[in-house]
């Protein structure tokens, strides 16, 4: 029987009730990394709306790893405790709570988009020094100071991801995702655009992929055997005119991530440099990247990028192009998209008892 958008999907001993995942979307609403009522309602609403996986925004494993001062964090036990009621509610609605563990590297210390998105230098009230594979800051009008990471820094980052995963487990999350995409720290090590090192973490493909493999191994080492670990990658830098990370590199990386303990690759693209050459961003414009990884490696994938129509999302699963379908902006616009999609596709889905009067006839 052909899998569809509303067919359950099992990874290890964890079953996702359907193939719809809320893609991580920054909310810029935390203070010192602490979740609040906004996060509870934002994530809880998507669980009520029928998503199979409800994933947090990029959640900093270190204070200096946040993209902006308003980004969520899990570098303290207090943050983990504050997330517990949120994960409990998401589970109560039949969805799986997931967390994206992240470190922004040289793209940290930025203002939120609503305030211009510019870099916040160290002498700014809310700015801080950033760290990266390189000492070249992210290109900006007034870039934040960036320090090249030494061996101790690398070890600290690996430990921070592991500690954050342990806190995530105590907070009730069922899935941990390692963020290695969109030009953030782990992507900065992967891409030759930003990795100019000559040590064991730079130069060759093996060396440039070493840190992300070590992070995945560290997260897998503290995550239960019955629960999945995802990794989000940028399949390409979208910089074809220079030496950069591309889809062939991603196909080569995927089985190494699986060997390190990843159960699914969440496939996105771009973010390493503002000169990126975006493809025609029509419906499903990034799906071919996920499909290439799935076909080239047999590792399960999530597809993302301009997916808005239920029939399109369903076809991606039915045709074996993706195992999960991640919706970001569409789920911001339509938090009950899964309920409406089930109606359009003629699929049975359990509505919250409080909302059953609103079911389609």
Under DSSP, the state recorded for 243 is S
Report the residue count for the chain: 361
Give the separation between CA 212 and CA 86, rounded to whole angstroms.
Answer: 28
SS3 (DSSP) at 140: coil
Q: Return the closest-CA partner of residue 9 out of 360, 359, 316, 331.
A: 316
Under DSSP, the state recorded for 31 is B
Under DSSP, the state recorded for 337 is H
Give the separation between CA 293 and CA 258, rounded to whole angstroms.
Answer: 12
Give the separation between CA 174 and CA 224, rounded to whole angstroms.
Answer: 9
* 87 exposure class (CB count in 10 Å sphere: 0-12, 13-18, 19+): buried
Q: Which of 138, 184, 201, 289 is catalytic?
A: 184
The first and second tokens of residue 44, run together, are 């809880």
Max CA-CA distance within the chain? 64
Question: Could you give the C-alpha distances from 79 to 18, 168, 327, 334, in angstroms and in order?
Answer: 29, 9, 26, 28
Where is 148: in which H helix or E strand? strand 146-148
Is 184 catalytic? The answer is yes
Give the separation between CA 207 and CA 11, rounded to whole angstroms.
Answer: 29
74 neighbors 166 (Cβ within 8 angstroms)? no
The first and second tokens of residue 113, run together, are 């988009």
191 neighbors 202 (Cβ within 8 angstroms)? no
3-state helix, strand, coil in the chain (%, to 5): 35, 15, 45
Q: Tell me phi and psi for residue 268, to 5 degrees.
A: -125, -155
Positions marked catalytic: 184
């Amino acid at each position: 029987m052909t899998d569809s958008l509303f067919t359950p999907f099992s990874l290890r001993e964890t079953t996702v009730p359907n193939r719809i995942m809320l893609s991580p979307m920054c909310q810029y609403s935390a203070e010192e990394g602490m979740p609040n009522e906004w996060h509870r309602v934002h994530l809880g609403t998507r669980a009520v709306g029928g998503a199979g996986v409800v994933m947090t925004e990029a959640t900093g494993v270190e204070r200096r790893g946040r993209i902006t001062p308003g980004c969520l964090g899990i570098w303290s036990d207090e943050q983990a405790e504050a997330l517990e009621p949120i994960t409990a509610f998401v589970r109560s609605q039949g969805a799986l709570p997931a967390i994206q563990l992240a470190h922004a590297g040289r793209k940290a210390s930025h203002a939120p988009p609503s305030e211009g998105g510019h870099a916040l230098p160290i002498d700014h009230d809310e700015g801080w020094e950033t760290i990266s594979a390189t000492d070249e800051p992210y290109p900006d009008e007034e870039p934040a100071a960036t320090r090249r990471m030494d061996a101790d820094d690398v070890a600290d980052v690996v430990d921070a991801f592991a500690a954050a995963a342990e806190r995530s487990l105590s907070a009730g999350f069922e899935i941990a995702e390692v963020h290695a995409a969109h030009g953030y720290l782990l992507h900065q090590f992967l891409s030759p655009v930003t990795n100019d090192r000559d040590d064991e973490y730079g130069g060759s493909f093996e060396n440039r992929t070493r840190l992300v493999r070590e992070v995945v191994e560290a997260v897998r080492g503290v995550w239960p055997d019955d629960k999945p670990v995802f990794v989000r990658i940028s399949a390409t830098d979208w910089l074809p005119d220079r030496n950069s990370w591309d889809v062939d590199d991603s196909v080569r990386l995927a089985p190494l991530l699986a060997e390190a303990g990843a159960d699914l690759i969440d496939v996105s693209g771009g973010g390493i440099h503002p000169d990126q050459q975006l493809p025609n961003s029509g419906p499903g414009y990034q799906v071919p990247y996920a499909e290439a990884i799935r076909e080239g490696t047999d590792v399960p994938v999530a597809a993302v990028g301009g997916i808005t129509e239920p029939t399109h999302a369903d076809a991606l699963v039915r045709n074996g192009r993706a195992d999960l379908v991640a919706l970001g902006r569409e789920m911001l616009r339509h938090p009950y998209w899964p309920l409406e999609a089930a109606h359009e596709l003629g699929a049975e889905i359990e509505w919250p008892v409080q909302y059953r009067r609103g079911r389609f006839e």
